[in-house]
Amino acid sequence: MRILDAILGKSSLPKAKMEKLFAISTASITLETSLGFRPGEAAGICFKPIESSRYDTARREVEDLLQYSCRETGTRYRVQKDDYDFLWVVLEDPEFEDLVTNVHLVSQTLVEHGFGEQLLCAIYRFTGKRQVYWVYNFKSGSYYPFAPKGDNKRDSSLEFRLRSIMDSELPMEKNVERWYPLWGIPL
Amino acid sequence: MKRKWQQDRGLQFRMIFTMFLLALVYLTFLAFLAYQGAGMMTMLIFAGGFMLLQYFYSDRLVLMTTGAKIVSESEEPELHQMITRLCAIADLPKPRVAVVDSPMPNAFATGRNPNNAVVAVTTGIRRQLNRSELEAVLAHELSHVKNRDVMVMTIASFLSTVAFFFVRYALIFGGGGSGRREGGGGIIIAWLASIIVWIVSSLLIRALSRYREFAADRGSAVITGQPSNLASALMKISGVMTRIPDDDLRKVEGMNAFFIIPAISKSSIMNLFSTHPSVEKRIAALEKIEQEMETL
């Protein structure tokens, strides 16, 4: 069906898959015990803003909900635009569970308003010998590791090691071609 | 292969010239085969073989004729990152990225499927457009990749070639004895009929191509969420922007006497022949998408 849609020029964007987002919660324990990567107390969610008043309403609601929820969990948050005009909600909290909850809240609200297709990714920072990120791709509903080395290079061997150890715990993006890098992550 | 922005004469000329040469080689070879007394099946197999070659080497062919150079991530970090993000949203594997050193604003995508795709931009388009406009153009090209336009257009032109030969053979040999007796007359009729089939099918292919452009524009609007960026990119590239005056009305008033109303009336025949819809129509379609996004 997707091929047929493509041939007719009607291909649409895949819907956001939310189910596996929470998998990072349990995986974070293994990451710490067997690899020595602690949760970096920060997470982010990145999406493409849209030109429409419906979107403005959705964004206001996201911020209202965030304000309320962050007061509850004691999370600090900020909303910022990056160099490519993508919007980031950056969350900071020593409690990893609260980060996951709030990331879920933001993405869920956007999906409910019909902007799930515009979700680029959710990112969790982990710190060990090096800073690594686990990136959640909403299109495939899977995670992949991203270890930037500075100067737009990535530490591929570390990424592959992370994959081989976490493969059983996290829904992993199988196709390494979809391990899209993200430079200039604001967290 | 998909081309954009009518403006780029040089690039367009090189492409058309290459296509012309290709067609010439192709037809000469087929004519030679026919002269040797090859049957219709053999001819069709050869025609199909040529199409397959063109299909499988489309990316290399286009890169060679346009002089586009594949650039690595370290050479063009910004361009790569823009494409990466758009691919993540559109759920596409990242294509190779190429740059053409040309002052003309242009961009194109090629490659037989998303895994072999190349997206190229000229240095000119990068200078003229701001970041969000360039992003909209890249999203348009990625939509061509997603819609598998190279495949669709190759199949469409193959079918038109098949139709061309079919009509020719049917008329020459189909009429049984009667065709033979008329001698030269029958062959001329066959030629005329096949030429008419060829013209009609190429008009249809052009219409199809225009439809695909609209589809890619829509794709760009959906991926970026901002149809107005593509609209303003189209206006800048086509020079419509320069038609929006910058001069103060009071200053212009004094010169009004010298103005000639530009007689730009596009005849419908031009629309029929062009592979890209007019910028005005594309912008109107984008405006409609924008309204849809507002009310949905």
Backbone angles phi, psi at A172, to 5 degrees: -95, 140
Kind and range of the H or E run holding A99: helix A96-112
- CA separation for the pair A49, B69 (Å, rounded): 32
Question: CA A171 to CA A177: how far, in whole Å?
Answer: 16
A91 is a domain residue = yes
Query: Does A183 sit within 8 Å of B225, measured CB to CB?
Result: no
pLDDT (tens digit, 9 = 90+) per residue, B244-291?
445 455 444 434 334 443 223 334 454 555 667 788 888 888 988 888
Determine, for residues A152 and B73 on separate chains, whether the beta-carbon distance falls below 8 Å.
Answer: yes
- ipTM > 0.85 (yes/no): no
Q: Is residue A26 part of a domain?
A: yes
CA distance A115 to chain B (A): 10
Contact flag A114-B216 (C-beta cutoff 8 Å): no
Tokens (6 digits) for A16: 């956001």
A120: Cα within 13 Å, side-chain hemisphere: 30
From the candidates B133, B135, B141, B213, give the one annotated as an active-site residue: B141
Q: Which amino acid is at B157?
A: S
> Residue A154's domain is classified under what CATH number?
3.30.70.600
Residue A132, domain extent: 12-170
Secondary structure (DSSP) of B49-105: HHHHHHHHTHHHHHHHHHT-EE--TTTSHHHHHHHHHHHHHHT-PPPEEEEE--SS-
Residue with tokens 């010998």: A129
Interchain CB distance below 8 Å, A9 and B227? no
B160-189: per-residue pLDDT in tens?
777 777 776 766 665 444 444 445 666 777
- Provide Rg for chain A, Cα atoms: 17
Contacts of A51 in chain B (CB under 8 A): 225-228, 290, 293
Per-residue pLDDT tens for B194-236?
778 777 777 787 788 888 888 889 999 989 988 999 998 988 8
Distance, in Å, from the CA atom of B208 to the CA atom of B203, rounded to the nearest integer, reads 9
Could you read off the pLDDT of A90-124 as tens digits, one per residue?
Answer: 999 999 999 999 999 999 998 988 888 889 999 99
Number of domains in chain A: 1
Separation of first and last alpha carbons in chain A? 39
Q: Could you tell me whether strands B118-122 and B96-100 are parallel, antiparallel, or unpaired per DSSP bridges?
A: parallel
Between B212 and A80, the higher pLDDT residue: A80
A182 within domain boundaries: no
Q: Is residue A149 classed as helix, strand or coil in its secondary structure? A: strand
User: What would the pLDDT profile of B79-132 be if each residue is shown by its tens digit?
Assistant: 999 999 999 999 899 999 999 888 878 888 888 888 889 999 989 889 889 999
Tens digits of per-residue pLDDT, B62-85?
788 778 899 998 899 999 999 999
The confidence score (pLDDT) of residue B10 equals 56
Mean of pLDDT over chain B: 75
Span B131-157, pLDDT tens digits = 999 999 999 999 999 888 888 877 777
Nearest to B85 among A11, A86, A178 (CB): A86
Is residue A19 situated within a structural domain? yes
Residues of chain A in contact with residue B131, where contact means CB-CB under 8 angstroms, are 84-85
* A187 domain-assigned: no
- Residue A155 included in any domain: yes
Q: Is residue A116 part of a domain?
A: yes
Global pTM? 0.77
Q: Is position A142 within any domain? A: yes
Burial of B46 (0-12, 13-18, 19+ CB in 10 A): middle
The owner of tokens 């080689």 is B25
- Tell me how far apart the terminal alpha carbons of chain B are, to the nearest angstrom: 34
- Residue in B93, B82, B116, B129 with CA at minimum distance from that of residue B231: B129
Place of tokens 């000329």: B13
pLDDT for B200: 79
Chain B residues in contact with A9 (beta carbon < 8 A): 147, 149, 211-212, 214-216, 219
